[in-house]
Amino acid sequence: MAYVVAGGLTAVAHYGVLIGLVELGRIDPVPATLAGFIVGALVSYALNRWMTFDATRTHAQAGWRFALIAAGGFMLTGILMHLFVTRAGLPYLPMQIVTTGVVMVFSFLGHKFFSFADRAA
């Protein structure tokens, strides 16, 4: 449940930046979603470390691990949104929802078993 709450707040940050940049700034959806991803990743780290995974690693130990998983999610977001929006010409918001679902599963598993995993494991 904590992951859902943290994910919801992360999505609000990500989608807020995305929509603001596309609709107000007239920025292309792919770079706009990547900017939103970065903001969301910062929110996600703080909330998931605090609320979700009962982290036993220090910030120094978990931070680089989180960044590695986040980099994978960043690339996955960029690739999927490029394929959906730029190549296929599909609307950016519905495709961002699909992309979010895929990246959420990838990120949850990566953070659970790598970023914030118990040091003894």
Q: Say how many CA atoms lie within 13 Å of 2 toward its Cβ.
A: 12
Banded pLDDT at 71 (limits 50, 70, 90) = very high
**Count of CA atoms in the C-beta half-sphere (13 A) of 78:** 10
| Domain range annotation of the chain | 2-115
Residue 5, pLDDT > 70, answer yes
- The better pLDDT of the pair 94, 68 is held by 94
Mean pLDDT of all residues in the chain? 87
Task: Report residue 120's pLDDT band, with 50, 70 and 90 as the boundaries.
Answer: low
- Could you tell me which residues come within 8 angstroms of residue 60 by beta carbon, excluding any fewer than 6 positions away? none
Q: Assign 121 a pLDDT band (cuts: 50, 70, 90).
A: very low
Q: Please say whether the beta carbons of 62 and 49 come within 8 A.
A: yes
Distance between CA atoms of 57 and 13, rounded to whole angstroms?
Answer: 25
Question: Which positions ≥6 away from 29 have C-beta within 8 Å?
Answer: 18, 22, 81, 85, 92, 96
Dihedral sign of CA atoms 115, 1, 29, 86 in order:
positive
Q: Tell me the C-alpha distance between 62 and 116, whole Å.
A: 6
pLDDT one-digit tens code per residue, 29-70: 999 999 999 999 999 888 877 665 555 667 677 778 888 999
Prediction pTM value? 0.83
